[in-house]
């Protein structure tokens, strides 16, 4: 599973993160008049930054001339010779049935529409309708789609927090930093007491609402840079790096964090459930990240048997 998570994380990074709307990826589209001679269009395509041009039709339709379509036309694939074509207007070569989407269209939807196209047009840029015309490369849409699917598979759909696999992957990725003097990882485990009873009494919607609120309170009480994830139906884990961790400072830091979390996670409404809380610190003798997790879960198991919770 570790290799699978590595692949998904790399896929999301390669796309520059998750982009939810086409507007996040779109770039301005240069638009020319329909009677513009192809000789002038050739000058525009000499710029390596121009991948396509918009052509404003007489009936307000938008046409698209991609670099590939232009090159094909120049070599006679569309039935014109280069010498003849240079004098013809661009309207005779542009594609007036491109895929056009609104700027607010989701990346996933736009990528699906782009891949449904047939023939050579399947790889053309997509025209974006906004205050001004724009375009987005199909390759960028597909990359962003991969990033979105990767993020979905690694995150909890309810709280939007990282899931178990990503938390464990991050813990393993950060573990080498503990080899530096004074650096320790803290693993926080939070378990809801009686979550099943909450669902049974107030319904699944109330349980979901509580989990979302609890996730927000947990994230807000932890130091900046902490990774917080939902690792089970009623379990959360968080990983944070502590520097300058001499034994005395580390103990004080853990105690202070434990108090802050207990205060932040205490029930605030009548239907809130208390939680159990464990803060486990790595130490030089800890035999890797799996051992740190096992130690924290072992302590949580003891708490459950003793019914101790943050009331």
pLDDT at 12 over 70: no
Q: Could you tell me what percent of the chain has a pLDDT over 90?
A: 56
How far apart are the two ends of the chain, measured CA to CA in Å? 37
What pLDDT shows up at residue 213? Answer: 95
What DSSP line would sit under 146-168, residue for residue? HHHHHHHHHB-TTT--B-HHHHH
φ/ψ region of 109 (left if φ > 0, alpha if ψ in -120 to 50, else beta) reads alpha
Q: Where are the domains of the chain?
A: 2-149, 164-306
pLDDT at 13 over 70: no
Does CATH place domain 2-149 in 3.40.50.150? no
Under 8 Å between Cβ of 219 and 174:
no
Tokens of 173: 């990725």
What pLDDT shows up at residue 309? Answer: 62
Q: Alpha-carbon distance 207 to 262, whole Å? A: 20
Q: Alpha-carbon distance 242 to 177, whole Å? A: 10
Contacts of 59 by beta carbon, 8 Å cutoff, 6+ apart: none
Rounded to two decimals, the pTM is 0.66
Tokens of 95: 């594609």
CATH class of the region 164-306: alpha beta
Q: Does 2-149 match 164-306 in CATH topology?
A: no
What pLDDT shows up at residue 7? Answer: 61
Q: What is the pLDDT of residues 148-207, one digit of tens each?
A: 777 778 889 999 999 999 999 999 999 999 988 889 999 999 999 988 888 888 889 999
Tokens of 5: 């998570």
Q: What is the pLDDT of residues 64-102, one digit of tens each?
A: 999 988 888 777 655 455 555 677 899 988 999 999 999
Average pLDDT score, the chain: 87
What DSSP line would sit under 189-223, residue for residue? EEEETTHHHHHHHH-HHHHHHHHHHHHHHHHHHSP
Tokens of 49: 């930054």
φ/ψ region of 197 (left if φ > 0, alpha if ψ in -120 to 50, else beta) reads alpha
What pLDDT shows up at residue 307? Answer: 63
pLDDT at 311 over 80: no
Tokens of 307: 């019914």
What pLDDT shows up at residue 8? Answer: 61
Q: What is the pLDDT of residues 202-251, one digit of tens each?
A: 889 999 999 999 999 999 999 999 999 999 999 999 999 999 888 889 99
Average pLDDT over residues 116-128: 90
């Amino acid at each position: 599973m570790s290799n699978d998570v590595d692949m998904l994380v790399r896929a999301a990074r390669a796309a520059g993160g998750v982009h939810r709307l086409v507007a996040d990826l779109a770039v301005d589209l240069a638009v020319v008049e329909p009677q513009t001679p192809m000789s002038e269009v050739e000058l525009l395509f000499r710029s390596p930054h121009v991948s396509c041009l918009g052509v404003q039709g007489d009936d307000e339709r938008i046409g698209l001339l991609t670099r590939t379509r232009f090159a094909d036309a120049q070599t006679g694939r569309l039935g014109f010779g280069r010498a003849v074509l240079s004098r013809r207007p661009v309207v005779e070569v542009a594609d007036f049935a491109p895929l056009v989407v609104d700027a607010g269209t989701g990346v996933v939807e736009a990528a699906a529409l782009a891949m449904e196209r047939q023939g050579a047009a399947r790889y053309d840029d997509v025209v974006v309708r906004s205050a001004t015309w724009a375009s987005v490369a199909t390759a960028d849409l597909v990359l962003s789609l991969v990033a979105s699917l990767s993020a979905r598979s690694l995150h909890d759909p309810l709280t939007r927090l990282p899931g178990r696999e990503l938390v464990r992957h991050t813990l393993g990725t950060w573990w080498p930093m503990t080899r530096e003097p004074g650096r320790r990882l803290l693993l926080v485990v939070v378990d809801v007491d009686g979550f099943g009873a909450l669902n049974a009494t107030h319904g699944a919607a109330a349980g979901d609402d509580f989990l979302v609120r609890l996730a927000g309170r947990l994230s807000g009480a932890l130091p900046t840079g902490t990774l917080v994830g939902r690792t089970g139906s009623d379990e959360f884990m968080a990983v944070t790096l502590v520097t300058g961790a001499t034994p005395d400072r580390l103990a004080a830091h853990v105690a202070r964090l434990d108090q802050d979390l207990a205060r932040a996670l205490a029930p605030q409404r009548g239907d809130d459930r208390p939680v159990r809380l464990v803060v486990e610190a790595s130490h030089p003798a800890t035999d890797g990240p799996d051992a740190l997790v096992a130690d924290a879960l072992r302590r949580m198991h003891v708490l459950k048997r003793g019914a101790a919770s943050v009331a």
